[in-house]
Structures are given as structure tokens and as C-alpha cells.
Structure 1
Amino acid sequence: MHTRQFDLIAFDWDGTLFDSTGIIVRCIQAATVDVGGKKPSDEAAAYVIGLGLMQALAHAAPDVPPEKYPALGARYQYHYARHFNDLSLFDGVLPLLDALKARGHLLAVATGKSRRGLDEVLQSVELKHVFDGSRTADETAGKPDPLMLHELMAQFDVAPERVLMVGDTTHDLQMALNAACPSVGVSYGAHEPDAFTALRPRHVVHSVRQLHDWLLVNG
């Protein structure tokens, strides 16, 4: 019988479980142009995925003055809502989550989304019942601050070495490092995997299939 190495597995959402990176990039770019800013590059817009919304927009659009941040956020939400029905889970995510639940892992989401945004998307993909807990950027500190993981560890009484963070950005892996938790990076999301090495993930996977296989052996 396989002995679990991790009691709690925390997943980032966008770009890790949810195939939303490309659309988020385009929404950030469109919102910035709408309020008179210079269109961010694909790389600049992708870099901020995983951060809280206003932190992300301010970083991606440094030429937009702070007094325009509310309008910038509203325009992002407008563009994102138009594409909401175009988004979906990556292929293989449902079998992965089912397999982990069957083995008795606690599952959580640690995301830069808002609570409202996460609840809406979990309802749309019918996954609310799968996750035992979640933390969002508007109800606790945003990444890479470790507070999200600290709160999940406290909620489930799990030690840091028994928690695994899975994410597609350096923000996710830095948060895990700051919380003294192991991590796994996924290369199919927002950030290039070359940037992961310094953050010492246990492994880097290049597909959900690889993530599934690694977790069933090493999780």
C-alpha cells in the first residue's frame, strides 16, 4: 500500500488547473488600453497572473496612474466576464483530483482570484465539493506572502512538510518556499519553467498527465 507523503495538496487555480492564462493576458492588455495605458507585452501580462487583481494590474500597467486603478479593475472584469464561458479545466484535471481524493488527500485552492471569482468558477465547473478548503487574495495576504498556506495548515492541523503546493508561477513556488512547504511547478501555465529552479521545487511537470503520474507515485 502506498504511504502518503503529503496530507494536504494545495493547487493554484489559473494556469494550473484552469486553462485561462491566454485569456487573462488578453484581458489585462485590453483593460490597460481602455484606460489610456500602453499595452503590456504578453510576457509582462503573464508574469502577474497569480497575484491579487489590483496588485497584478498595477504591476502590468506601470504607466497607469493610481487614480485610474478602479477603472482599470472594472475594465478587466468586463473583458474577463465576456470570455468566462470560453474557459475550462485542463484535460485530465478531473481524474487527477478524483484519484487524490480516493487516496485520502486533503485538497485546497490557494489563488490570486477573489473569493467571488473563485466561488463562481468552482460552481461553473462543479468542483465546490471536491476541495476541502481554499484561500483567495482578497481575504488574506496575496502571493508570495505565505499566509494563505499558513492559514490552510492551521485549518487542517498539517505540518509544513506534509503540505505540497502545486503552481505554474514563481509567485506560487516562492509562497511555498516562504511557508517552508515543498512544491511542484507546472510548465504549461503563465511562467517559463527556467525561472523555477532557484525556488527549489521537488519536480517540474509539463502536462497534467505528468502531474497525475508524479503525484500518484510521490504524493
Structure 2
Amino acid sequence: MYELIVFDWDGTLMDSEATIVHCLQKAAEDLGCAVPDADTARDVIGLGLHQAVTRLFPGADDARVDALATRYREHFLRKDRQPSPLFAGAEELLRELASRDYMLAVATGKSRRGLDMELEHSGLGRFFHYTRCADETFSKPHPQMLLDVMDYLGVDNSRTLVVGDTEYDMQMAANAASDAVGVSHGVHSSQRLRQQGALTVFDALQEIPAWLRSRME
């Protein structure tokens, strides 16, 4: 049924929530802005950086948004760089899906520099046929990131599945007329994912292959 599986990164394959929240808070602190609490900061994970900052600081002008984004990158890429762990079963899942000849891709709110760094550190880069980042096109929930992936790999939306942990992933898939499933270990609740169109929500990444097999029966 599906030929292409497109994964979100943060909160789906990598447990990077705490690092992202910390760096957003430090960026605000650096510039004397009101520091968002953890729940508020985590809710924007999955959006592109500028969109996330704009949502966190709605009164900020363009210059302030740029400055906050710059400070975030400084902390994330250099000052407070702590490698985030993969979620249990992430590498095993990708290995199994690759062995079953699925095309695999990433569509993420991360920057190209940030994703490439994580792909190298995690060793997962070898599994993906294509990756697309928020600083290369429109941020989720706009469908362009997903449309670019499908176009590059030559796969129709009806044969593409998105796997993500936020409503932005579900909305992106719906906006591209593709199916989506959620994982419960990320940012947004299972209920929220289902309300935004997730076909199902997995408590563990290891559950995905069996579900895919069931869809082929």
C-alpha cells in the first residue's frame, strides 16, 4: 500500500525535547525576553524555528525574531550542545523498513545544518533517500515540505505515509492528502494527534512494522 514513509525527526525518532526547550529558554534569557515555561516552549516543537519563535513571542518584531533565532542556534549548535538520544527501537525500525524496500525520508522543522549534524551523530543518515528541512521551504503544517519529498522520490501522495509526534505533522499530511500516524512519546497527546487525522497512534516505534503488514492484508 505505501511505498514511501516520511518521518518527522524531533520527538519522533530523537528524544530532543528537553534540549530544544532549554535552548529556547536560554535564547529568551540572553535577550531579556520573558522566558517561556517548559509546556509553552515544548508546544511549538515541530514548527520551523522562525515560526516557533514568532508563536512564542507574538509581540516581537522581525529583528527581535531574528535575534532570538540566532541565539537559539548558538545554544543548540555550540554552547549547550548535548547529544540527544534516539527513542528505543528507532534504528531497528529503520533497518527493518529499509530491508522491506520502503523508501524512507525526513521532513522536519529543524534547519539543514541541525538535521545534518543529528544524522551524522546518530548514524541514521544512511537509511534515508531524501530529507527536507524548514529553512529550505515552508514550515509545517504547510504541505510543501512533504510535496517536495514526494516529487523528488516520484511517489504519489496516496502511497506516502507520514510518521510524527505533533499536530503539525498530521496537518501537513492532510494538507498534502497523504495518510499519517502518530507516536505517543513526543510533544502532543495521542488525543490531539487523532483529532488532527492520525490513523492510529503508536506507543512504541517497534509497533509500526506489524501495522504496515496488517494494511497489506
TM-score, normalising length: structure 1:
0.91
Count of aligned residue pairs for this structure pair: 215
Which one of 7, 29, 37 corresponds to residue 3 of structure 2? 7
Residue 98 (structure 2) pairs with residue 101 (structure 1) = yes
The residue correspondences of 1:137-176 to structure 2 (distance < 5 A) are: 137-176=134-173
User: 2:166, 2:34 → 1: CA distance?
Assistant: 24
Which one of 108, 112, 116 corresponds to residue 109 of structure 2? 112
Q: Tell me the SS of whatever aligns to 1:214.
A: helix
Q: Give how far 1:216 is off.
A: 4.7
Which one of 41, 45, 51 corresponds to residue 45 of structure 1? 41
The answer for unaligned runs of 5 or more in structure 2 is none
Query: What letter corresponds to residue 17 of structure 1 in structure 2?
Result: L
Q: Give how far 1:189 is off.
A: 0.7
Higher mean Cα deviation, 96-105 or 21-30? 21-30
Higher mean Cα deviation, 195-204 or 64-73? 64-73
Q: Tell me the SS of whatever aligns to 2:105.
A: strand
Q: Give how far 1:78 is off.
A: 2.4
The answer for unaligned runs of 5 or more in structure 1 is none
Residue 184 (structure 2) pairs with residue 187 (structure 1) = yes
User: 1:189, 1:204 → 2: CA distance?
Assistant: 11
Q: Could you list the per-position Cα deviations for residues 58-78 of structure 1 after superposition, in whole angstroms to 9, with x for gaps in the alignment?
A: 211234443222321122122
Q: Give how far 1:209 is off.
A: 2.6
The residue correspondences of 1:58-97 to structure 2 (distance < 5 A) are: 58-81=54-77, 82-97=79-94
Query: What letter corresponds to residue 189 of structure 1 in structure 2?
Result: G
User: Is the CA contact 2:165–2:193 (under 8 Å) kept in the aligned structure 1?
Assistant: no
Q: Give how far 1:173 is off.
A: 0.4
Q: Which runs of 4+ in 1 moved over 4 A?
A: none
Distance 1:8 1:44, change over 3 A: same
Q: Tell me the SS of whatever aligns to 1:10.
A: strand
